[in-house]
Amino acid sequence: MLEAVHSARPLPAVQDETPAGGGAAPAEPGTILRTDPAAEGFSGSTSGRPGAGIVSLDARRRRLPAAAAAAVFLPGIALGGWSLGAQSEQRHQEELLAAREQDRENLLLGASDATTHRIEVEGGTATLFVSQEQDTALFVSTDLPDPGPGREYQLWLVQEDVPVPDAHFTGGQVRTWLHGEVADAAAAAMTVEPAGGSTSPTLPVVAATEI
């Protein structure tokens, strides 16, 4: 057996079959080589360009952050659109309310029996606009004094010498509609009451006017 081993001829050297003048260059690290799609049973064709079957791992890595960013930003865009829509609807509602308020004031001031009553309130001034024909009255002030902690002003409609409680409010800028039966009232009065208003007036009366 040893004799057979020693008498065995050496295998011929493996020849480099890569053409000396060119051919495909060795793939760089970090790439994946794709074989011929036809040889692996895939359909379709390649472009025939050098490197058309090579997909760079760096390119794949670049796609992942872009996809992640899209996943983060798309819900944010949707939420932002909803927020803008809600703000637009709120502005629309506020504009409608302002328009209705202006229409109501125009009707009052345009009434044939509309009267204006100027009232002095503890150094401040106020105006009471009244239309008994429309059964409407509006109290307006820009500098009503502060009534004090835990206190409010309250209006009263005097009907057959009986004060009927009406709107109550704090100082500063005031614009409020009376909600009682203005058409049946002979006068309006104002007192200072505990916050939340009272069912009967607390003296003294700080302002009053016939209407």
pLDDT tens digits, one per residue of 161-191: 999 999 999 999 999 999 999 999 999 999 9
Q: 165: cis peptide before it, omega within 30°?
A: no
Mean pLDDT of 22-41: 47
**Alpha-carbon span 193 to 200, nearest angstrom:** 9
Residue 145 pLDDT: 93
pLDDT band at 59 (very low <50, low <70, confident <90, very high): low
Strands 31-33, 162-169: parallel, antiparallel or unpaired by DSSP? unpaired
Name the nearest CA neighbour of 209 among 187, 190, 194.
187
CB 101 within 8 Å of CB 140: no
**Alpha-carbon span 64 to 58, nearest angstrom:** 10
**Alpha-carbon span 20 to 129, nearest angstrom:** 106
Using a cut of 0.85, tell me whether the model's pTM lies above it: no
CB 156 within 8 Å of CB 188: yes
The tens digit of pLDDT for each residue in 90-135 reads 888 888 888 999 999 999 999 999 999 999 988 889 999 999 999 9
Residue 70 pLDDT: 59
CA dihedral 131, 132, 136, 141 (to 10 degrees): 50
CB 27 within 8 Å of CB 33: yes
Residue 74 pLDDT: 62
